[in-house]
């Protein structure tokens, strides 16, 4: 899951980055509305966590432009103003959800995950394929009753492949959705992560490589 945080409060932004990355999300952060619009123009984020009172370009204007463009990115608006009329106003601008500060981090995570499900084709909350079970909300994975000890990136890659339902996913798409903007697109990080994930999944193999094209979950029985 790829998340953009638009927040000018540096300390809060750092807390959000650290916490959401622990939850397995690929997170980028920008300090103002103009930078948010630029980032959104080049990257397909699933969710934008948008501080309403941003400098340069106000958060309301960012939200308004996204809604007008029909963007796929879902918007969770954050603000210190928690009155009903403020929430109604934010939603009227095109925000998909609204959360007043201060907020419980667990609630923020739950709302982001809910919005991300709306941003993509519908998938069940618990992903299953043969003897493999993946529960993103609980960060839990098992195969044939065996608990899988996956790193954050391995879990994210497996979630993306399972959500694709056997459709081919390119290395570039995996890099964009599971890593943040600091990832080097010319490294072999996807290939290395995939090799480790395959070893942990065991046999029979569940992930197929299509040379020069990408990866997909094997949909045929051995």
Structure-block tokens of residue 20: 């959401």
Q: Would you state the pLDDT for residue 89?
A: 64
What's the rounded mean pLDDT across residues 57-75? 90
Q: Is the confidence at residue 206, as pLDDT, over 80? A: yes
d(CA 143, CA 170): 24
Beta 74-79 vs 97-100: how paired, if at all?
Answer: parallel
Domain ranges of the chain: 2-119, 127-217
Q: Would you state the pLDDT for residue 142?
A: 96
What's the rounded mean pLDDT across residues 158-165? 91
Q: Is the confidence at residue 88, as pLDDT, over 70? A: no
Supply the pTM of this predicted model: 0.69
Q: Would you state the pLDDT for residue 159?
A: 92
Output the CATH code of domain 127-217: 1.10.10.10
d(CA 202, CA 196): 10
Contact 65, 23 (CB under 8 A): no
pLDDT category at 58 given cuts 50, 70, 90 is: very high
d(CA 144, CA 148): 10
- CATH superfamily for 2-119 is Response regulator (3.40.50.2300)
Q: Is the confidence at residue 120, as pLDDT, over 70? A: no
pLDDT category at 221 given cuts 50, 70, 90 is: low
Residues 10-47: pLDDT tens digits?
Answer: 999 999 999 999 888 999 999 999 999 999 998 889 99
CATH fold match for the domains 2-119 and 127-217: no
Q: Would you state the pLDDT for residue 119?
A: 62
| Sign of the Cα pseudo-torsion (22, 39, 111, 190, in order) | negative
User: Which of the pair, 14 or 93, is modelled with greater confidence?
Assistant: 14
What's the rounded mean pLDDT across residues 48-68? 92
Spatial CB neighbours of 82, under 8 Å, sequence gap ≥ 6: 100, 101
H or E element, residue 128: strand 127-129
Structure-block tokens of residue 39: 């980032």
């Amino acid at each position: 899951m790829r998340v953009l945080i638009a927040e000018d409060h540096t300390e809060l932004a750092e807390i959000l980055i650290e916490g959401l990355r622990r939850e397995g999300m690929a997170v980028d952060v920008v300090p103002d509305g103009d930078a948010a619009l630029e980032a959104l123009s080049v990257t397909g984020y699933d969710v934008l966590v948008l501080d309403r009172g941003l400098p340069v370009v106000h958060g309301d204007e960012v939200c308004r432009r996204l809604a007008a463009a029909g963007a796929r990115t879902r918007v969770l608006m954050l603000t210190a103003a928690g009155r009903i009329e403020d929430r109604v106003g934010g939603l009227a601008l095109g925000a998909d959800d609204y959360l007043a500060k201060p907020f419980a981090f667990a609630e923020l995570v739950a709302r982001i995950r809910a919005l991300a499900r709306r941003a993509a084709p519908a998938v069940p909350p618990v992903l299953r394929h043969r003897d493999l079970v993946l529960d993103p909300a609980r960060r839990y994975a098992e195969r044939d009753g065996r608990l899988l000890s996956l790193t954050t990136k391995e879990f994210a890659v497996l979630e993306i492949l399972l959500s694709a339902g056997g459709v081919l996913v390119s290395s570039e798409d995996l890099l964009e959705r599971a890593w943040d903007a600091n990832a080097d697109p010319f490294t072999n990080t996807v290939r290395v992560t995939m090799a480790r994930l395959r070893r942990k999944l065991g046999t029979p193999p569940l992930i197929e490589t299509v040379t020069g094209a990408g990866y997909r979950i094997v949909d045929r029985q051995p």
